Structure 1
C-alpha cells in the first residue's frame, strides 16, 4: 500500500476549489418563559436568533415593528439597535426589563404557553468577516427541517441547559447554518473584501488586547497609512479606528456577560488607558455603560 502524503494527489481534479470558512462560536442557547420583555435600544456585538413558540412578542427596528409568530425565526446581526416587548405585559417604555426563567421538563408547558411568552434564543459569532455585515433584522420562514430542529433543541434544553452533549452541539450548529443560509445574498457583500483588508482584519482579531496604530497595520500589507485607511473605509464602510474600537468593545461585552472579570481588568486587558476611557468608548457604541451592561439581564 502506498501512502499519499500530498493533498493535491488525493484530488483527481486539476483545478483548486475555494471555500469560505465560518468560525461559528456560541455564547448561549436557552429556552425561557417570559412574562416581561421590555427591552429598549439594545445594541450587541454578536448575532442573535429569536424564535417564539407562541404569539405576543414584538421586535422594533428603526420604524418597523415585527410581530413575531411561530412560523418565523428572527435573526439580528451584530451592532443592530433594536427594542423588544411582550405585548400582553408591556410596562416600560425605556431601559431593559426582563422577567422569566428557563423552562424545564417539570413545567406544564400548556399552562405557560397560555400565560407567558415561550422564547428560544441563541447568541453567536460567525468570525471574520461575517460579524461585520450591515445592521438589520432578518425574518426567516420556519421550514419543516428547521421546525424539526427547533423541537429537538427546545426539548433538550428543558432537560439539560448547561453541559451539552456532542449531538446537541452538532444539531445546534446545523440549525444555525441552515437558518443563516436563508438570508438574502445582499447580506454577505463583505465576503469579497480586498485581501489586504482581510489580512489586517485577521491581525486585529488576534491582537485585540494591544494598542494598534494605523502605520503598524498598514505596514503589514506594505501600504502607506493614508492609502490603507482609505482602502479600509471603502471596503468595510467604517474607519479603521472605529473598527478597532468596535472589536475591542465586542470582546468587552463577551467578558462582561460570560466571565467574572471586573470592569477595571477588562479595560486593562483590552489596552485602554484607564477605566474612564474604556467606559466612554463602551457607552458611545453600546449606548449603556459597562456597569449597566454587566448588571443587566439581556435576552
Structure 2
C-alpha cells in the first residue's frame, strides 16, 4: 500500500474551497433558579446566550426593554452595555445584584415557576473577528430543533454541572452554532473588514501583553497614524485605542476565569503601568472592578 501524496489534503477536486474558521470557546453553561436579577450597565468581553423557561425576565439595552419570552433565545454580543431584572423581585436601580441557586434533579420546576426565574445561560467566545461584531440584543425564535436541544441540555445540567461528557459538549456546541445561524447578515459585517485592519487586529491578538501604540500599529500597514486611525474607526465602529483596551480586558477576564493569578500579575502581564491604571480601564470596559469580577457575582 502506498501513501498518497499527490492529492492535497486528500481532496481530488481542483476547485478550491474557502471556509470561515470559527473558534468557539465555551466559558460556562448553567441552569439556575433566580430570585434576584437586578444587574445594571453590565459590559462583558464574551457572548451571552439567555433563555428563561418562564416569564418575568427583562433585558434593557439603551432605550429598548425586552420582556423575555420563553419561545425565544436572547443573544448578547461582547461589549454590549445592558441591564437585566426579574420583575417580580425588582429591588435595586444600580449595581449588580444576583441571587439564586443551581437547579438539580431534586427540584420540580412547577414548584418554582411562580416565585423564581428559571434561567438558562451560556457564556462563550467565537474568536477574531467575530467577537467584535456590533453590540445589541438579538431575539431568536426557538425552532423545534432548538427546543429539543434545550430540553436535553437543561435536563443534563440538573444531573451534572461540572464534568461534562463528550456528547454534552458536542450537543452544546451544536446548539450555539444553530442559534447563531438565525442572526441576520448585517451582524457579521466584520468578516469582510479591510485587510489592513485585519492584519493589525491579528497582530494585537498575538501581542496583547505588550504596550501597543497607534504609530507602531499603523506602520504595519504603511499608513500614517491618523489615516489608519480613521480607517480603523470606519471599519470597526470603535477607535483603535478603545479596541486595544477592550481586547486587553477580554484577555484579563480569560486569565481570571482560568488561573489564580493576582490582579497585580495580570496588570503587569498585559502591559499596564500599575494595578490602579489596570483597574480604572477594567471598570471602564466592564462596569466592575477586577476584584468584583473575580468574585463571580454575575450571570
Q: TM-score range by the shorter chain?
A: over 0.9
Where do 1:30-179 residues align within 5 Å?
30-179=30-179
CA distance in 2, matches of 1:137, 1:52: 15
* Counterpart contact for 1:96–1:296, Cα < 8 Å: no
CA distance in 2, matches of 1:131, 1:9: 29
Distance apart, 1:259 and its partner CA: 3.5
1:241 aligns with 2:241: yes
1:264 aligns with 2:278: no
Deviations 1:64-103 (A, max 9, x none): 1111121000000111111111111111111111110111
Distance apart, 1:3 and its partner CA: 2.5
More deviation in 5-14 or 232-241? 5-14
Distance apart, 1:143 and its partner CA: 0.4
> Structure 1 173/224 Cα, relative in aligned 2: closer, same or farther at 3 Å?
same
TM-score (norm 2): 0.94
1:3 aligns with 2:8: no
**Structure 1 unaligned blocks of 5 or more:** none
TM-score (norm 1): 0.94
Distance apart, 1:137 and its partner CA: 0.3
> Structure 1 216/141 Cα, relative in aligned 2: closer, same or farther at 3 Å?
same
More deviation in 6-15 or 185-194? 6-15
Deviations 1:142-188 (A, max 9, x none): 10000011011111111111111111111111000000110111100
Deviations 1:47-66 (A, max 9, x none): 00000111111111111111
Deviations 1:235-284 (A, max 9, x none): 21222222111100111223334443221111111110001111121222
**Structure 2 unaligned blocks of 5 or more:** none
Equivalent residue for 2:230? 230
CA distance in 2, matches of 1:215, 1:93: 42
CA distance in 2, matches of 1:41, 1:9: 48
CA distance in 2, matches of 1:51, 1:9: 41
Deviations 1:109-135 (A, max 9, x none): 221233311100000011000000111
CA distance in 2, matches of 1:54, 1:192: 39
Distance apart, 1:7 and its partner CA: 4.7
Equivalent residue for 2:254? 254
CA distance in 2, matches of 1:17, 1:69: 40
State the secondary structure of the residue aligned to 1:114: coil
Q: Root-mean-square deviation (CA), in Å? A: 1.7
Equivalent residue for 2:206? 206
* Counterpart contact for 1:53–1:70, Cα < 8 Å: yes
CA distance in 2, matches of 1:236, 1:179: 24
Aligned length: 299
